[in-house]
Structure 1
Amino acid sequence: MGAQFSKQVERRKTLRIEKNVLAELKVTAGEDFPGSDYRPPDRKNWMANLGSERTRIHQIIWPGTHDSATNDIGIPFITRPFAQCQSLSIYQQLVLGTRLLDIRIQENRLVCHGVLSTYSVDVVFSDIKKFLAETQSEILILEIRTEFGHNDPPDFENYVVEQLGEFLIHNDDRVFEKTIADLLPRRVICIWKPRKSPPPKGGDPLWGGGYLRDNWIDTDLPSTKFDSNIKHLSEQPPVTKRKYFYRVENTVTPKADNPVLCVKPVTKRIHKFARLFINQSFAKGVADKLQVLSTDFIDGDFVDACVGLTSARIDGRA
């Protein structure tokens, strides 16, 4: 008991130090970067407002959500706080400006996060189609993966094509150099990451898992995650030289040996430092590698930061 208590005291001390490191860096370095003062006039149509004919896919900073379809997961006030990473529906996230969705599923096509499940993936498809019907030039990256510990839904690749076929941008390395206008009316890059089923191939309607990469750091310590994100980002080629999307997760996650196990209070430790991360990407000379930035509980300011940097890239200021 004494050893466990001492361990918790040490962890709280480490956490306090790490939070202070980022807070002090924010004061000294600020949060400015090219485009940081930009505010999109309409987040729902922010790609259209930037200009579909001059916006190339590799220039976009994609605002993404982590565990996107968890707004209704679990039982409210009982299991939900341990698995919920977003409070908005898929449709609401897209209207807010989210352009990359992270969907985890199990064998029966229910969305899940670990052992907890929620609504059918059909709800996700319905929300996406509603959003696409209301907009004209917004491109989405839809990542669907079989959650760890679960089996792939049978014949799922064909099912996705059935649901979204007319919107799907087919697997093609040349997409990264193209403008949004070049791809229209197709609007969805769907990346399918099965556990055992064969992955999609070049030319298929869906894209394989290698086209969306990241380096997940499983920690609840904000400065540790922040520094690791910078390190792994620095190891990537610039966006103009690579043929895959690279994601940085501006999140930290609860750990089993920590008394705080609810997602929201833990991820808040890093949530407010997204603009600082972009600032430090410039300070360390790796901003030309930024592409997808994801978060829990996405908000308008997070979207604005991504759109602002995208605008600066298109204008040649970044």
Structure 2
Amino acid sequence: MSSSSPSNSNDSGKKNPLDAMGAFFSAQVNRRKLVSTQKLAMSERCTSCGDEFPGCAHRPADRKTWMAELGPDRLRVHQVVWPGTHDSATNKIGIPFITRPFAQCQSLSVYHQLALGCRLLDVRVQEERRVCHGVLATYSVDVVLDDVLRFLAETVSEVLVLEIRTEFGREDPPDFAKYLVERLGEHLIPQDEAVFGKTVAELLPRRVICVWKPRKSPAPGRGEPLWSSGYLRDNWIDTDLPETKYDSNLKFLGQQPPARDRRYLYRVENTVTPQADNPVVCVRPVTNRIRGYARSFIAEAFAKGLGDRLQVFSTDFIDGDFVDACAGVTKARVDGAA
């Protein structure tokens, strides 16, 4: 009598659900191992390379006015390392403790980010003029603009970049360019490549470079109050692996010309983002895999001869030390030390 071995499929040719479940858990274990390996590699790498770079010891007397402290008549736009925030207006997105942890990238309001020293905001909107991140929406974009206007009223020579874009999968808000000009009018720096070579003093009293990135609406043109998407570029890779993102940031930064020769802003984002194939899907624990290595990234960029390429440096959950690092490199450039 012949014997048969157990089959991985049933008689109809369908896969055994237990096999599929086993493959899923195996993949999860391998992903967790890869994350752990990269976290360890980042820790060892950044310990060895240190965090010394031109201006690293600088601490602004008041982060709210750190640009003014460097001298509006000395500081040129291309010299600024702009401390930015990723998904800036998500402090109140979603339902607390339920959906918020999956989409919140900042815990501070836009005003408090600016007061802390942030100088570039990343705001995503949908057709109803509400801020959103993916499928979740939060307050009206009016809240963002009110915070920006409050900050401008309380300072004299701080310049900021406001990037507003229609979120992927959403429709452009109707007449949104006109709305932005009406709200920010007298503060807007018109689209002009000559701006990058000017000092802050030459721009005043205008202090906002507003980059509008619609999905279908016409893009702003030269001389208009708003700037088109080509003036704020990056090379985003969507990953939750910290060393993968860190190396990608260095690679693409190295492909850019020096900031003084560019007629656009180039952004590096010190962030990693949750992935659907990984069990950890809340933003904060994932982004913390890379968030603490901002100074190490700047140090390694200088060590590799890329320090003059740094321009926009963004993060989730911005803090004062991140701002100080960006302000320090900016000061070193103004002083001729970088």
Q: Same fold (TM over 0.5)?
A: yes
DSSP-derived class of the 2:209 partner: strand
| Per-residue deviation, residues 87-136 of structure 1 (Å, max 9, x unmatched) | 00000000000000000000010000011000000001100000000000
State which of 267, 271, 291 in structure 2 corresponds to 1:271. 291
Confirm whether residue 281 of structure 1 aligns to residue 301 of structure 2.
yes
Query: Which residue of structure 1 aligns with residue 148 of structure 2?
Result: 128
Shift of 1:49: 0.4
DSSP-derived class of the 2:260 partner: coil
Shift of 1:29: 1.1
State which of 43, 48, 53 in structure 2 corresponds to 1:23. 43
Matched length: 318
Gaps of 5+ in 1: none
State which of 193, 210, 213 in structure 1 corresponds to 2:233. 213
Shift of 1:259: 0.5
Which stretches of structure 1, 4 residues or more, deviate above 2 A after TM superposition?
none
Matches within 5 A, 1:105-184: 105-184=125-204
What amino acid does structure 1 have at the position aligned with 2:154? E
TM-score by length of 2: 0.94
DSSP-derived class of the 2:132 partner: strand
Matches within 5 A, 1:1-318: 1-318=21-338
What is the root-mean-square deviation in Å for CA atoms of aligned residues? 0.5
What amino acid does structure 2 have at the position aligned with 1:63? P
Gaps of 5+ in 2: 1-20
| Per-residue deviation, residues 59-96 of structure 1 (Å, max 9, x unmatched) | 00000000000000000000000000000000000000
What amino acid does structure 2 have at the position aligned with 1:283? A
In the alignment, the residues of structure 2 paired with residue 233 and residue 45 of structure 1 have an alpha-carbon distance, to the nearest angstrom, of 28
In the alignment, the residues of structure 2 paired with residue 16 and residue 113 of structure 1 have an alpha-carbon distance, to the nearest angstrom, of 27
In the alignment, the residues of structure 1 paired with residue 290 and residue 298 of structure 2 have an alpha-carbon distance, to the nearest angstrom, of 13
In the alignment, the residues of structure 2 paired with residue 297 and residue 50 of structure 1 have an alpha-carbon distance, to the nearest angstrom, of 25
Contact 2:32 2:278 in 1 (8 A): no
| Per-residue deviation, residues 149-180 of structure 1 (Å, max 9, x unmatched) | 00001111010000000000000000000000
| Stretch moving more, 103-112 or 20-29 | 20-29
TM-score by length of 1: 0.99
